A and B are shown apart, each in its own frame.
Chain A
């Protein structure tokens, strides 16, 4: 296990063997026995409990206050634990969960249209291309029902029908209407519900907020996660906190790609530092590309803006049939347009899953049929539905999205088709966790997007919110309690040696960042890293490209540590320093992301390997060789990581090749 941080300055050559195989995997998923539908109930019953009077004596550290973190902090606080919540923002309510637009799935079957817990389970497993654990996914589907109840009780203003009942819609290709939504701001409203519940606990004294703190290391004492080291982003002080368990709820790593729909402060740092302390990173190559984003307009672009996928319900996607056709869209006659999704996938049409829609967009653009000035966009045209349903209906459904589009691009989507292009949106991979959401480090739990989650190789639309809240409200409170009740947890002081050592490592890295005094900004290098990842570890991946990416990443990392410039001091707010630290971690993380993509020589879900496709160019899974979770163990920066495999078994949902024809 490598805890050496001092190797970064040394340029290194990739080892001849890019990774090592674990002789015998020590991954224990701790799945409950029994039939699928009873597993969670059994686990809940088998879990040990902590008496209410004793809970206050247990300190739980929650890092991140998005849907998963805020809901976990609230739920644990309600039970009486002493919760310390850390977040990088000025307010917990700013976590990026707030940006989720579309909705949240729940197997309520309010529509009487054939939905059920089992169907949501099945759709999620299938959507994830059979790379998720059945037991986890079934539990998620079961809990989806409770989430809606909980949120409504919190005062989340979900859309309703005139009769006063909750409204639902079909989302992202689902054949049942199971998606609940609050205008285009579902993530915001759910986050505010969790945030408010957490603030209630703050008022009651069970939850203590630590704003503007960035977790920079995990402290492991005697093999157990016992605390964290954070930097106070205002004072620059390195602070140490001890507790009995640590919950990482720090989101995904989409900003490794520089341009993504994630917030610009979203980062992998907390997860990566935990990985360096021994938490395995699972399936990092499972990244999701969202098909409906506003295209890049230039080098200056700092992030990409997502347009809700629900737009595909009423918009038709097309490009000109002729490559290089630069005519404005209204001058291209119907006969010369290629509604390629409708043509290739007659039964799903424009509603094919995200990865299929994204890859097809890339394909037509690669053929030179892309539109807009950059040629990296396809049209999403509302003309037909505006004339069929009327402008008012379209306005009622998408008014705010259309406004946002117009504000960013200066074009009116009511009269001219939108231009869209895929962008990195969500990362299914993350820290490996067992059924109890505990990582390979005892006492370190990982919730929400930060874990490798229940979405397999691809996430269904409107399922991220569901997973974050299920983890936080309904799973962690049970499993964390079980851990606290059953583990031997001697008292540790934040002044103990492991804390001081971790703080020293953090301090050394900060000093190192400030000490380079080069001539390149962290933004520039991040942008280059993003380009490498987007080109080679993006929508379409090949052996040669991935190998090239590995070389380029390691060169960039070397360049970073030789040439980065970070002005200012470490003793006060220094946004450049914060950012540079995150880029440094991405430069390490990108390697395992690429390696994972290289080692998985099959196409599945969001991971498309050019070597593995059907004659028609569709993704081809290789179940014989890759029906497993790849969990990577850190051995040192640039050193070959160790691959552990957790075999996946499908007793209920039997793998079939996905087809959306």
Chain B
């Protein structure tokens, strides 16, 4: 395979990276220099280059989560210069490219910060709180077998599009990371909203809203202050109208004496 190298376009960047050996010890911001960075690299590829250098020196590389590197798995989770997923809106940090930066820039890289997302190592955090919120009720309680024909229930196109808007969530946690209250309202609201919009999910909408909100609170997330920073950093552009919908769903459930 032929790779084209364009040596003249490379940049040098000054990184400030959060290093923390594990959840039990304190961490700190550590400076690194990233040299020979091509503008065509993705942000994570830039970190790969830094890590390769560290490994060659026998030092522990910077731990960070990433997987698909195409913006859909939701693994990558970096706060870049105070902004979850970096300066570009509507994208994950794996899709952020270095052409967005200038030679000589200083870049601060931090993990998601929330009580509900404890740091595991360096830039890796534990987001299992999201899984527990889903486990509390983020599904339709139907089992395999016996589902009616898919066209039995007609769903208006607009409704299904709205549901898809909410369903696009990748559970990266940027909403929590950016929110001044570390609130998971956008994540939880999106799932409640998606399933409440669809006739298939409507049957247990009340129970779902009660249980998911209860779990969200138990995980130690903050509340919503309607600043919409979550929406601004959401890689999938999920709107805070989903939070209002969650409030309505929850209130409806709470006022109709629904239990469990």
Write the residues of chain A forming the contact surface with B, with a CB cutoff of 8 angstroms: 71, 74-75, 78, 89-96, 98-99, 108, 110, 146, 148-166, 182-183, 185, 188-189, 192, 195-197, 199-200, 202-203, 209, 211, 234, 259, 261, 263-265, 296-303, 305-306, 373-376, 403-404, 407-408, 410, 473-474, 477, 517, 519, 521, 523-524, 531, 534-535, 565-568, 572-576
Contact = CB atoms under 8 A, between A and B. Distances in A.
Interface in B83-103: 88, 90-91, 95, 97, 99
Contacts of B65: 90
A183 B164 contact: yes
19 contacts: A71-B144, A93-B74, A95-B73, A99-B68, A99-B73, A150-B147, A153-B148, A157-B163, A157-B167, A163-B154, A188-B72, A188-B170, A196-B134, A199-B131, A203-B137, A297-B38, A303-B69, A374-B3, A575-B61
Contacts of B258: none
The 7 A-B residue pairs whose C-beta atoms are closest, nearest first, are A164-B154, A196-B139, A153-B147, A149-B147, A157-B164, A297-B40, A152-B150
Given A158-B160, A200-B141, A567-B58, A573 B121 contact: yes
B201 interface: yes
B167 A302 contact: no
A567 B59 contact: yes
B167 A192 contact: yes
Contacts of B160: 157-160
A535 B3 CA distance: 13
B157 A164 contact: yes
Contact of A298 (B38, B58, B88): B38
B95 A407 contact: yes
A408 B95 CA distance: 7
A202 B171 contact: no
Contacts of A261: 70
B44 A302 contact: yes
Contact of B156 (A164, A203, A301): A164
Interface string B45-73: 11011001011101111010111111111
A376 B1 contact: yes
A545 to B, nearest CB: 14
A152 B142 CA distance: 11
Interface in B1-26: 1-6, 21-22
B188 interface: no
B135 A200 contact: yes
A302 B48 contact: yes
B42 interface: yes
A91 B150 contact: no
Contacts, number: 246
B173 to A, nearest CB: 10
A410 B95 contact: no
Most buried by B among A92, A96, A154, A183: A154
A298 B6 contact: yes
Contacts of B142: 153-154, 197
A64 B56 CA distance: 32
Contact of A89 (B3, B75, B201): B75
Contact of A576 (B2, B55, B136): B55
A568 B51 CA distance: 13
B235 to A, nearest CB: 11
Given A154-B140, A376-B1, A408-B97, 10 more contacts: A75-B143, A160-B160, A234-B120, A299-B5, A301-B45, A302-B48, A302-B69, A410-B99, A574-B60, A575-B63
A375 B75 contact: no
Given A91-B131, A154-B142, A298-B3, A96 B67 contact: yes
B135 A202 contact: yes
Interface stretch (B122-130, B176-184, B217-225, B242-250): B122-130
Interface residues of B, number: 85
Given A96-B67, A164-B155, A376 B2 contact: yes
Nearest to B41: A300
A263 B134 contact: no
A298 B40 contact: yes
Given A157-B164, A573-B63, A521 B55 contact: yes
A403 B71 CA distance: 12
Contacts of A574: 60
B4 A298 contact: yes
A94 B75 contact: yes
B80 interface: no
A263 B247 CA distance: 36
Contacts of A165: 151, 154
B139 A199 contact: yes
Nearest to A152: B150
B95 A404 contact: yes
A404 B56 CA distance: 33
Given A99-B72, A160-B157, A300-B45, A166 B151 contact: yes
A90 B139 contact: no
Contacts of A148: 150
Contacts of B42: 302, 408
Given A78-B144, A99-B70, A568-B60, A196 B138 contact: yes
A375 B171 contact: no
Given A264-B66, A374-B4, A567 B60 contact: yes
A291 B216 CA distance: 43
A574 B63 CA distance: 8
A92 B148 contact: no
A477 B144 contact: yes
B198 interface: yes
A154 B4 contact: no
Interface in B170-229: 170-171, 194-195, 198, 200-201
Nearest to B121: A573
B70 A404 contact: yes
B253 interface: no
Contacts of B194: 155, 157
Contacts of A373: 4, 6
Contact of B149 (A92, A149, A151): A149
A263 B69 contact: yes
Contacts of B149: 149
A155 B70 contact: no
A143 B182 CA distance: 44
Most buried by A among B46, B147, B198: B147
Contacts of A306: 70
B127 A90 contact: yes
